[in-house]
Amino acid sequence: MKIVETIEEVREQVKEWKKQGLSIGLVPTMGYLHEGHRSLMEAARKNNDKVVVSIFVNPMQFGPTEDLAEYPRDLDHDAALCEGVGVDLIFHPEPEEMYMDDFCSFVDMTGLTEGLCGKTRPIHFRGVCTVVTKLFNIVTPDNAYFGQKDGQQLAVIRRMVRDLNMDIEIVGCPIIREEDGLAKSSRNTYLSGEERKAALILSKTIALGEELAKTEKDAAKVVAAMKENIETEPMAKIDYVEAVDALSMEPVETLDGDCMIAMAVYIGKTRLIDNTLIHN
Ligand code: PAF
């Protein structure tokens, strides 16, 4: 497994692989890899000749008061995990390699990016779309792998690829959870022991929503019951709980067709997200 830091080195390697007719799977990450990332890499390993993992904490997707400086980093641990899965190349650029001083081109989206996480993180998806486009242009993968845990991000990337005619298959992979239900996230590391216990309110409420949605189609009723449940946890502060169309991210009144019920909840200072897909 190679670890490279420059765009030129990635391009040279990719050119070589393409000459041999090999397919490439890309797993974009911000590092501090966990089982959720491993599942993406394993899916990529299964279906591609070569697997590239990018590890880049993208400053452009963090707001000025967000956790860019504290975001956990551990390249040695990440490299070992990648090696174990059989990744071929890690692309680990410095911010200066990705963004020149006079960088001024962005990929932006209306609609899908405005609700849910977009409300409290107004510049987030512009940063995500821009960096993912850059990674797609650098690696030119056949397939790219993203987790359903970031359900809105996955919908946004699928739409971007469709709207901008990017010739890349986007593969969404299921949420991976801890044994007790908490969705795996690099940000779980911010939680104290007490907060870690309190954080279970997210997955428990997702399970409640799934159960209610089996018989109740009124989205407002399901969401209200979920919010009430979260409010029983004193350490939790709701950012949002919403039922949206799975493709457009528009709020829905009725849980018909393919919907997503998504939430963001603060546990202490840590903002955690979770979601479930409802198919009716
Ligand atoms: O999901 C993430 O880790 C990031 O948003 C991504 C897709 C790697 C872009 O920086």
Pocket test for ligand 1, best of 150, 156, 188 (most atoms within 8 A of CB): 150
Is position 179 within any domain? no
Q: Has residue 178 been placed in a domain?
A: no
Q: Are residues 252 and 148 in the same domain?
A: no
Please tell me whether residues 16 and 104 are part of one structural domain.
Answer: yes
- Quick check: is 278 in a domain? no
The verdict on 142 and 243 lying in the same domain is: no
Mutate which of 60, 99, 128 for ligand 1 pocket (most atoms within 8 A of beta carbon): 128
If asked whether residues 21 and 94 sit together in one domain, one would say yes
**220 with 163, same domain?**
no
- Domain of residue 224: give its range: 186-273
> What pLDDT score was predicted for residue 280?
85
Cα separation of 241 and 231, whole Å?
12
User: Which of 146, 173, 200 is the C-terminal boundary of a domain?
Assistant: 173
Residue from 229, 265, 227, 266 nearest 243 by CA = 227
Are 204 and 138 members of one domain? no
Cα separation values, 24 from 13, 16, 76, 98, 108, Å: 11, 12, 24, 21, 26
- pLDDT averaged per 10 residues in sequence order, the chain, 280 residues: 98 98 98 98 98 98 96 98 98 98 98 98 98 99 98 98 98 98 97 98 98 98 98 98 98 97 98 96
CB-CB contact of 47 with 144 (8 Å)? no
The Cα-based distances of 36 to 3, 42, 145, 149 in angstroms read 21, 10, 11, 9
Q: What is the CATH number of the domain that holds 202?
A: 3.30.1300.10
Give DSSP secondary structure letters for 86-111: T--EEE---HHHHS-TT-------SS
Q: How far apart, in whole angstroms, are the C-alpha atoms of residue 59 and residue 67? A: 10
- At 99, the amino acid letter reads Y
Asked whether residue 33 is assigned to any structural domain, the reply reads yes
Indicate if 91 and 21 belong to the same structural domain.
yes
The answer on 37 and 143 residing in a single domain is: yes
> Ligand 1 in contact with 173 (CB < 6 A)?
no
Domain of 107: which CATH number?
A: 3.40.50.620
- Let me know if residue 26 belongs to a domain: yes
Query: Could you tell me the strand order of the sheet in which 89-91 lies?
Result: 2-4, 89-91, 50-55, 24-29, 143-147, 169-173
* Residue found under tokens 């989206």: 109
Determine the Cα–Cα distance for residues 108 and 99; give it in Å rounded to an integer: 16
Distance 12 CA to ligand 1 centre (A): 24
Pick from 108, 139, 173: which residue ends a domain?
173
On whether residue 43 sits in a domain, the answer given is yes
Residues 159 and 223 both lie in one domain: no
* pLDDT value at residue 127: 98
Q: What is the CA(227)–ligand 1 centre distance, in A?
A: 28
Q: Residues with Cβ < 8 Å from 175, sequence gap 6 or more? A: 36, 147, 148, 149, 183, 184, 274, 275
Q: Could you tell me if 148 and 202 lie in one domain?
A: no
- Of the candidates 148, 173, 198, which is a domain's last residue? 173
Q: In terms of domains, do 63 and 142 share one?
A: yes
Residue 59 is classified by DSSP as: G
Whether residue 110 is found in the same domain as residue 159: yes
Q: How remote is the C-alpha of 228 from its chain's centroid?
A: 27
Q: Pick from 124, 89, 86, 129: which is nearest to 106 by CA?
A: 129
Q: Is 37 among the residues known to form the active site?
A: yes
Cα–Cα distance for residue pair 276/220, rounded to 1 Å: 16
> Does some domain include residue 181?
no
Which DSSP helix (H) or strand (E) runs through 238? strand 236-245
Q: Which CA distances in Å does 105 have to 48, 110, 222? A: 31, 16, 41
Residue 110 within a domain = yes
- Given 37, 77, 92, 124, the catalytic residue: 37
- Atom of ligand 1 at shortest range from CA of 132: 9
Whether 242 contacts 261, CB under 8 Å? yes
> Which atom of ligand 1 sits closest to the CA of residue 56?
10
Ligand 1 atom nearest to CA at 128? 9
Which DSSP state fits 145? E
What residue owns the CA closest to ligand 1's atom 5? 128
Domain count within the chain: 2
